[in-house]
Amino acid sequence: MLNIQTVSVPVQLNEEERLASLQSYNILDTAEEKDFDELTLLASAICQTPIALISLVDAERQWFKSHYGLDAAETPIEQSFCAHAIVSYNEIMVIDDAREDVRFADNPLVTGDPKIVFYAGVPLVNEDGFALGTLCVIDRDTKHLNEPQINALKILAKQVIDKLELRRKIAQLQDTNQELREANMFIQKFASTAAHDIKNPLSSIHLTSQALKIRLQKLGDEGCNRLIDLNLTSTNRLLGLLDEMLDYSKDPSLLLSKKSEIDLRRSVKKIISLINVPDNFEIILPKEGQLITISEVSFEQIFINLLSNAIRYNDKSTGVIDIRFAEDSDYYRFEVEDNGIGISPEYHEKIFSNSFTLKITDRYNKKGTGIGLATVKDLVNALKGTIYVKSAPGIGTTFFVTIKK
């Protein structure tokens, strides 16, 4: 059995970045591919060597994307010639006789199979400046490459890099297309939910307008001014919300980039003013003076949905909603607890699915659309957070929301 010796393996100063760059190609341990195999075949023919390899140097091994004339698919990093080649900062590293080189004389690949004597490796330097591995040729006898052979090997190495870069760009394009598809779906769902939520403040405006009409018939009532002010305030808030939603529909990335510091208690009060809260409800607010930095329109959409649901699906004579807040170094943590009708355990995950409904009517004798909570989950995910629910039928429901700072 071959005794593997431990040899010193050179490490680049930016090794972590180099390894991350290598991983970005998602090529390690992939199947053989004709395009790469043709390049090693051509390298072997041009340089007149029995072995040619496309070697990628990982943290603990060198893995061969193509291995012409060699059965092994990888070797330990301690035995790697290519690990030395990629830190040489030369266009090519040539070892005329490895048996005479102090770095490799005791290497198992020299003393044992495949009995390497001659080695020439061209570093595969990507467009980010990282050497990922080499295109190398190997012989079991001493050898000398002439200038045309060396130039040809360099050209072939450039072809290897071009194929790797093309592979990475195609993968990136596929990821981008997927993100665009998800963004389009998100915008559609966001718009649908927004239109749904806007009905609440519009209903308030409609009711106050009717009351205002009646009051105006009785001139001299000072309450008319208060109703007009309420109408204007609600309308302005609605217009502001619509403007923000239009901005987000054009650029969903604003959910993460456009953040502002808000007073939590004041913001929750603003949200409550936009929804129809019955007189028999008590809403326990977070304590004063708590500031958070967040996408305000996302925060409003999340809490409009959670509070509206807590009101709609409550059958108690006195409804109670308790809004709690805490934070740690990484996350804001919110809890919205109600004493409503509750949700059976088998639906705790399903309620966040698009278009899923419990097929029950709310206190206003209306059925849900299945859009609200699905969009809440999408918003929370976009803000790099989580949401889950704990609930018991007949007792109440608590939603737990975390949002990354």
Q: Domain holding 312: CATH number?
A: 3.30.565.10
CATH code: domain of residue 118: 3.30.450.40
160 and 69 inside one domain = yes
Q: Is 229 helix (H, G, I), strand (E, B) or coil?
A: helix
Listed residues 127, 144, 176: the one ending a domain: 176
Q: What is the DSSP letter of 391?
A: E
Closest CA to 114 of 68, 66, 56, 55: 68
Structural domain includes residue 243? no
Closest CA to 268 of 224, 303, 236: 303
> Please, which residues have CB within 8 angstroms of residue 5's CB and are 6 or more apart in sequence?
78, 106, 107, 108
- Give, for 113, the enclosing helix (H) or strand (E): none
pLDDT of residue 4: 38
Determine how β-strand 61-68 pairs with β-strand 93-95. Answer: unpaired
131 and 257 inside one domain = no
Structural domain includes residue 79? yes
278 and 368 inside one domain = yes
CA distances from 235 to 205, 212, 279, 320, 322 (A): 7, 15, 22, 28, 27
The total of structural domains in the chain comes to 2
271 and 160 inside one domain = no
Residue 176, both tokens: 């981008």
259 and 165 inside one domain = no
Query: How large is the C-alpha radius of gyration of the chain?
Result: 33
53 and 165 inside one domain = yes
28 and 140 inside one domain = yes
Listed residues 156, 176, 196: the one ending a domain: 176
Listed residues 127, 145, 176: the one ending a domain: 176
Structural domain includes residue 158? yes
Structural domain includes residue 227? no
171 and 266 inside one domain = no
Structural domain includes residue 153? yes
Residue in the block written with tokens 């909570």: 373
pLDDT of residue 291: 95
171 and 25 inside one domain = yes
400 and 298 inside one domain = yes
**Left (φ > 0), alpha (ψ -120 to 50) or beta: where does 29 sit?**
left
153 and 62 inside one domain = yes
Structural domain includes residue 239? no
Q: Is 120 helix (H, G, I), strand (E, B) or coil?
A: strand
20 and 168 inside one domain = yes
pLDDT of residue 367: 76
Residue ranges making up the domain that contains 353: 253-405
Residue type, 321: I
245 vs 262: CA distance, rounded Å: 18
**Left (φ > 0), alpha (ψ -120 to 50) or beta: where does 204 sit?**
alpha
pLDDT of residue 199: 62
Closest CA to 285 of 229, 343, 238, 325: 325
Which residues does the chain have with pLDDT short of 70?
Answer: 1-13, 183-184, 187-200, 202-203, 206, 210, 213, 216-223, 225-226, 228-229, 232, 235-237, 239-257, 369-370
Structural domain includes residue 390? yes
pLDDT of residue 258: 73
Q: What is the DSSP letter of 220?
A: T
